[in-house]
């Protein structure tokens, strides 16, 4: 098992960061997620579930203001179980469940990266969870009571566990609840888990069938509503963070061949990034980068859909820590590795900083910079850059792992340690964690090759609009910087 270098320094820095986050939230004069009221989207889920419980149509009207129910029928069937709950238990169950789901994803990433889940790692997971309100997608998910983190957990249960992973069921269920997670089946294909990919498709088909049985107007969604992205939001809203939305705001390009070409480029880069992840047996990076890619190529994505930046942040923390910790010796070297790894995590999540923590650097503020379109490209552009970086990393000489002896998506066991002085003749060239070279017929001592060399930085948030900075009620007003408002710029 791997260890986290400089753990005292890592814990100290994260604790200090939490203190800063708490302070910034305490002095923030706008609206934040930490107000005891039923969030806007959760209220819509609750109202829609009540309609389903009464056997009424789901897609025939709006529920709050002009906000309709935008998810597949299967989601409405599940939300039916929320309808009997009063406000307080509804808030506690949903928001508490969201935090628990996010914590589970963080721990799954730590375990998949080879760290033993010791008490110290549980403490690390709790500290990382407490840092996530600084991430705009997480803060937005909590503010609106969104379902994004639950969906990410279902996908993570399919892709991350080395043993007892869901055999495609998680992705199938997530796609049945909100179509975008179907894109994550791409990771199953790169893992060469053909049977699991088939199960994901079958599971999704079952959710569609359940929707037709339980929702009277299910056909309305599949034949009409599914093709109307305007039901989800307006591309002119700065909180919309897909490629298409950014192209509309930055250059006035709404769809067409230019958008399709951009989608194809991002898809190709994603495939190359997944290739790199599989070569280095990094399923956590595959999860995070494919999730970010799904937000980019989707016809419409809100900033809070980008919760995939959290597992990427954890990947960066562990990767930088491992890469430096193996090269820096002694106690001080380990602490330096811990210090730099936390800084690296913060650096790659900076484009997604939440407004309460740093308003001037948040995406919503960058949209109003005089220097445009670069300000409005920062959020979405960071996602493209991270995917491209990891894709290119896989082709850089010297970063290639030796030929693997295990299937990329299969459970992996840590390779046994090898004596440092073993020669080429004694160590096969196909060993997972060794590399040997010869010059002039003389063998050179093999050196250990880390599978962490291709791991990359983490990403962060996007921003859907928030209600006005005062007068929060149990049912928030339609945000001025929200789903259906248009930018005045």
Instruction: DSSP for 356-418, please give it.
Output: TT-GGGSHHHHTT-SSTTHHHHHHHHHHHHHHHHHHHHTTSTT-PPPPPSS-TTS---PPPP-
User: Lowest-confidence range among 33-37, 213-217, 419-423?
Assistant: 419-423
pLDDT of residue 454 exceeding 80, the answer is no
| Region 296-305 average pLDDT | 94
Percentage with pLDDT > 70 across the chain: 81
Q: Is the pLDDT of residue 232 over 80?
A: no
What mean pLDDT comes out for the span 98-109? Answer: 98
Which residues have a Cβ under 8 Å from the Cβ of 184 and sit 6 or more positions away?
Answer: 155, 158, 159, 171, 174, 287, 290, 291, 294
Lowest model confidence (mean pLDDT) among 160-174, 350-364, 396-410 = 396-410
Angle at 484 between CA 478 and CA 485, to 5 degrees: 80
Compute the Cα dihedral for 286, 270, 389, 295 and give only its sign.
negative
pLDDT at position 229 is 64
Calpha distance 270→290 (Å, rounded):
7
Residue 430 has pLDDT above 50, yes or no: no
pLDDT category at 409 given cuts 50, 70, 90 is very low
3-state secondary structure of 304: helix
Question: Taking a C-beta distance cutoff of 8 angstroms, is the pair 60, 392 a contact?
Answer: no
In tens, the pLDDT along 375-400 reads: 889 999 999 999 999 999 988 876 76
Report the predicted TM-score, pTM, of the whole model to 2 decimal places: 0.82
Cα–Cα distance measured from residue 127 to residue 293, given in angstroms and rounded to the nearest whole number = 27
User: Lowest mean pLDDT: which of 83-97, 358-372, 424-438?
Assistant: 424-438
Q: What is the mean pLDDT of the chain?
A: 83
Identify the pLDDT of residue 403: 56
Q: For residues 322 and 449, what is the distance between their CA atoms, to the nearest angstrom?
A: 12
Q: Which two tokens stand for residue 116?
A: 């033993």
H/E element holding 285?
helix 283-297
Tokens standing for residue 451 = 């599978």
Cα 457 to Cα 304: distance, rounded to the nearest angstrom:
20
Q: Please tell me the predicted confidence (pLDDT) of residue 15.
A: 97
Q: Does the pLDDT value for residue 176 go beyond 90?
A: yes
pLDDT digits 0-9 by tens, 148-166 = 999 999 999 999 997 777 7
Interatomic CA distance for residues 108 and 101, integer angstroms? 11
Q: What is the pLDDT of residue 61?
A: 86
pLDDT at 96: 97
Closest CA to 279 of 117, 100, 125, 453: 453
The alpha carbon of 173 is separated from its chain's Cα centroid by a whole number of angstroms, namely 17
Of the ranges 106-110, 333-337, 391-395, 470-474, which one carries the lowest mean pLDDT score? 470-474
pLDDT at 346: 96
In this predicted structure, what is the pLDDT of residue 402?
59
Asked if 15 contacts 127 with a C-beta cutoff of 8 angstroms, the reply is: yes
Average pLDDT over residues 456-463: 34
Instruction: Return d(Cα 33, Cα 376) in angstroms, integer.
Output: 24
Banded pLDDT at 481 (limits 50, 70, 90): very low
Q: What is residue 459's predicted lDDT score, i.e. its pLDDT?
A: 34
Higher per-residue confidence, 484 vs 106: 106
């Amino acid at each position: 098992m791997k260890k986290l270098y400089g753990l005292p320094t890592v814990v100290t820095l994260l604790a200090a960061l939490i203190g800063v986050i708490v302070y910034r939230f305490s002095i923030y004069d706008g609206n934040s997620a930490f107000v005891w009221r039923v969030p806007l989207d959760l209220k819509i889920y609750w109202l829609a579930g009540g309609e389903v419980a009464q056997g009424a149509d789901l897609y025939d009207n709006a529920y709050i203001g002009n906000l309709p129910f935008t998810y597949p029928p299967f989601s409405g069937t599940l939300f039916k179980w929320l309808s009997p709950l009063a406000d307080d238990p509804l808030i506690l169950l949903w928001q508490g469940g969201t935090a628990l789901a996010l914590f589970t994803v963080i721990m799954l990433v730590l375990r998949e990266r080879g760290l033993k889940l010791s008490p110290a790692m549980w403490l690390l997971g709790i500290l990382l969870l407490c840092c996530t309100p600084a991430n705009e997608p997480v803060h937005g998910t909590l503010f609106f009571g969104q379902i994004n983190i639950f969906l990410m957990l279902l996908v993570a249960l399919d892709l991350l566990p080395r043993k007892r992973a869901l055999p495609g069921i998680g992705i199938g269920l997530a796609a049945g609840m909100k179509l975008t997670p179907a894109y994550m089946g791409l990771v199953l294909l790169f893992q060469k888990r053909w049977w699991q990919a088939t199960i994901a498709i079958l599971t999704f088909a079952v959710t569609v069938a359940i929707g037709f049985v339980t929702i009277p107007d299910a056909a309305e969604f599949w034949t009409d509503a599914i093709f109307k992205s305007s039901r989800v939001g307006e591309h002119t809203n700065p909180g919309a963070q897909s490629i298409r939305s950014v192209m509309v705001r930055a250059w006035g390009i709404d769809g067409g061949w230019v958008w399709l070409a951009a989608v194809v480029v991002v898809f190709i880069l994603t495939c190359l990034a997944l290739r790199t992840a599989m070569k280095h047996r990094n399923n956590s990076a595959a999860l995070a980068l494919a999730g970010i890619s799904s937000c980019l190529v989707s016809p419409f994505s809100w900033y809070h859909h980008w919760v995939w930046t959290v597992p990427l942040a954890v990947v960066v923390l562990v990767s930088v820590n491992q890469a430096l910790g193996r090269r820096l010796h002694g106690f001080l070297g380990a602490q330096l590795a811990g210090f730099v790894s936390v800084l690296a995590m913060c650096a790659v999540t900076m484009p997604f900083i939440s407004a309460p923590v740093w308003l001037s650097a948040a995406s919503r503020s960058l949209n109003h910079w005089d220097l445009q379109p670069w300000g409005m490209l920062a959020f979405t552009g960071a996602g493209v850059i991270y995917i491209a970086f990891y894709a290119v990393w896989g082709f850089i000489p010297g970063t290639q792992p030796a030929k693997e002896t295990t299937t990329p998506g299969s459970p992996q066991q840590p390779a046994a340690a090898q004596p440092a002085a073993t020669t080429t003749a004694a160590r096969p060239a196909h060993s997972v964690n060794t590399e040997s070279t010869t010059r002039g017929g003389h063998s050179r001592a093999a050196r250990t090759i880390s599978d962490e060399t291709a791991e990359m930085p983490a990403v962060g948030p996007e921003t859907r609009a928030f209600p006005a900075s005062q007068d929060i009620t149990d049912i928030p007003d339609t945000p001025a910087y929200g789903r259906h408002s248009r930018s005045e710029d």
